[in-house]
Chains A and B, each alone.
Chain A
Amino acid sequence: MNQHSDHELISTIVEHLNVGIFAIDENMQVIAWNNFMAAHSGQLPQDVIGQDLFSCFPELPEKWLRKKIQSVFVLKSFAFISWEQRAHLFRFKHNRQLTRELEYMAQDVTLMPIQNNTGKVVGVSFCLQDATDTCIYQNQLEMTKERLERASQTDGLTGLNNRRHWEQRLREEFGRAIRTKSAFTLILLDLDNFKEINDKYGHLAGDEVLRFVATIIKNCLREYDVCGRYGGEEFGIFLPNSSLSAATIVAERIRIAIQNQPCQYNLKIIPVTASFGLASATGRIVDHEKLISHADIALYRSKEQGRNKYTIFGQW
């Protein structure tokens, strides 16, 4: 085995390290360029050494980077570039899976001063590390967090907002309506004879009925109306900036659709209807719970009065 000197050994290691190492002098000319840089840039040491860095790589953000480099010269300190704020410095390809978000290698770069023996900074060295894996994991983590958050807000069976999330949104929107003194209406609807449907056709059929109703509701709502699964067979809808007459039209649209559209399960058509209770926020109502209570009372009246109809609170 050849007797490498200590320096030669370090040199060889730096040359072939799986990290980009290069250096520039005070005139921005490249004075060192390791194998990693050559392989990823396609530019060999002989192409770049002695050349202006920015001429060789016009994609670099020159004005900004010059200032950063200058700070190392003046302050004799380190400077850092992180993939978390800047996707990449050099446009190098990465060799991970192809993803839409990550076109080039994510990079962490450290700039360090090169000092001569009088302590003067005569050059800046760059250490460029591939952070693509971390970037990919981070993105996956963010996506998972988003999915988890959505899942915690969603009713599994129907895909609608679950009760907790819907009530929270109701609280927020209602508060806004009070502050801006704008109209606000609430609809509660409850499926008629749902227990009988479950008993006669089975629980899986019952699930299908719930999904059927959820779909109808979603299709009948306008952009800012918000619905949720309020209970086992109960749904809630709040309509910001909506008058009672507008809400009534929406309620009727849903009621008729539920009544007329066929709900099919296992080659059987299941007859479905629902009862509705409507309540409008007037100046006297100051909390959303009161509004729910009014809609609930109106809903109860619809049930009492034969089902498959709507009732407006206070109008009977």
Chain B
Amino acid sequence: MNIATQLNDEQQDCLKEVINVAMGQAGSNLATLLNVFIQLSVPKISMISASELSENMISLIGTAEQVTITRQGFYSDSDTQGLTGEVFVLFTDNSFTATAELLNYESVLDSKSLEELVLDVSNLLTCACMGGIAEQLDTQIAYTPPSIVTLNSRITSVVEPEQIRWEEAMIMEVTYTLEDREFQCNLLFMLPSDTINFVKEFLNNFMDSL
């Protein structure tokens, strides 16, 4: 692990604050859109290497029978090197009936509609969070379309290291819960080295300005 890319304690605390504000905003926006109360966990931040991602996901999945995982990339839309990375959304043993209703899907979903719904929910959560973070970090981002890694299956192995473009990244785990609707999922945000440097720079400037 490259020590240089890690954040020190002060930077980490600052980042957590920034993320909290971003998540608050994201939760509020989602609540407006969906007319339900959304609960967001406090983000867990750590550094991992590409080979550890699979392990990480498997521990989150636990003994769940039906696992759905999506992935989506985001990239800097401004002229400076900014936020670039990807997000994995993990759904375990979920019923999608509640979200189908919230997003105006039919109540009976065929396989294609279920895929579409899963991608939609992932996109909403990803964009809400990343959008919030980008706004706090005063930068613009754009998104690539989400894709399904696995749909409603038992997991034996998840994302192989060869399928990942970065060697190490900062990972932020956030859990979303839809109040009263039995829906929960985990988001894993991956920020590779270049992005971490960008974030560090922002945090330093931010702390200096206080």
Contact = CB atoms under 8 A, between A and B. Distances in A.
Contacts of B143: 77-78
Nearest to B31: A74
Contacts of B127: 71, 75, 77-78
B32 to A, nearest CB: 6
A82 interface: yes
Interface stretch (B6-14, B53-61, B114-122): B114-122
B136 interface: no
B33 interface: yes
A134 B29 CA distance: 35
B123 interface: yes
A87 to B, nearest CB: 9
Interface in A193-234: none
B131 A77 contact: yes
Contact of A79 (B104, B112, B123, B142): B123
B124 A67 contact: no
Given A67-B103, A80-B145, A74 B32 contact: yes
A110 B145 contact: yes
A67 B104 CA distance: 7
Interface in B80-102: none
B146 interface: yes
B113 interface: yes
Contact of A75 (B113, B128, B145, B146): B128
A76 B33 CA distance: 12
Given A67-B103, A70-B33, A110-B145, A78 B123 contact: yes
Interface residue tally on A, bucketed by range: 20 to 34
A118 B165 CA distance: 36
B176 interface: no
A71 B33 contact: yes
Given A66-B104, A67-B104, A85-B119, A78 B29 contact: no
Interface in A58-80: 63-64, 66-68, 70-71, 74-80
Given A74-B29, A74-B33, A80 B146 contact: yes
B86 to A, nearest CB: 14
B128 A77 contact: yes
B105 interface: yes
B120 A86 contact: no
A79 B145 CA distance: 8
Nearest to A61: B104
A304 to B, nearest CB: 50
Contact of A86 (B33, B116, B145): B116
Contacts of B104: 63-64, 66-67
Interface in B163-182: none
B33 A75 contact: yes
A63 B146 CA distance: 22
The listed residue with most B CB atoms (<10 A of its CB), out of A68, A84, A85, A110, is A85
Contacts of A82: 116, 119, 145
B142 A78 contact: yes
A85 B112 contact: yes
Contacts of A86: 112, 116
Interface string A240-282: 0000000000000000000000000000000000000000000
13 contacts: A63-B104, A66-B104, A71-B124, A74-B32, A74-B33, A75-B127, A76-B131, A77-B124, A80-B145, A82-B119, A85-B113, A85-B119, A86-B112
Please list the 3 inter-chain residue pairs (A to B) with the smallest Cβ-Cβ separation, ordered nearest first: A77-B127, A85-B116, A80-B145
